Amino acid sequence: MTNICLIRHGETDWNSLGKIQGRTDIPLNSNGIRQAEQCRDYLKETSWDFIITSPLMRAKETAAIINESLNLPIVEMAEFIERSFGDAEGKTKEERQVLYPDMLYPNAEPYWELAERLKQGLADILQSYPQQKVLLVAHGAVIHTILRILSNEEITLDNTYLTNACISNIHYKDSKWAIKDYNIVTHLQV
């Protein structure tokens, strides 16, 4: 069985301001660093084979902090980079509602393209790292899309907000992916 623990990166200044980040490469803020440290402490007694991270700074920083107690190989996979939100990047929810009331953001990566990219990324993990236990540090839209696909549309943005540094677990068994749990935040302290 292949196990993947999906970890959303820690908070950034744009997260705290409610700005959509997309591919804009924003670092963790002090709260995000603390959240990554809490993930590290939560995971330090567990056993994993390696860490995969998005190539964006906020994910790589989160992965590096988590890895301080695990000392695992870290692999960057472009398939798990955040969705591009095009012209909406850097704008708050209120600004996006005014500028794009239909929520169609000019120059954004189409949802179907994101979904196909993530399906390919999961297939690549299965092929390259079969029967392994993987920590995958990625982004809100990436993890939401994976959970949405695997839950047959039951877990969506409308009913589930993924907290920064939350943990979700999926596994591949009997030729299919399944969700074990999602949006775990018990390790995060205010």
9 is catalytic: yes
Per annotation, catalytic residue among 9, 11, 79, 139: 9
> 93-98 contacts: CB < 8 A, separation 24 or more?
93/18, 93/20, 94/18, 96/20
**8 A C-beta contact, residue 88 and residue 20:** yes
Q: State phi, psi for 77 to the nearest 5 degrees.
A: -130, 115
Per annotation, catalytic residue among 82, 109, 139, 144: 82
Helix (H, G, I), strand (E, B) or coil at 150: helix
61 is catalytic: no
Within its chain, how far is the Cα of 107 from the centroid? Answer: 22
For the chain, what percentages of helix, strand and coil (3-state, to nearest 5) are there? 35, 20, 40
Helix (H, G, I), strand (E, B) or coil at 99: helix
In sequence order, the β-bridge partners of residue 28 are 12
What are the catalytic residues? 9, 82
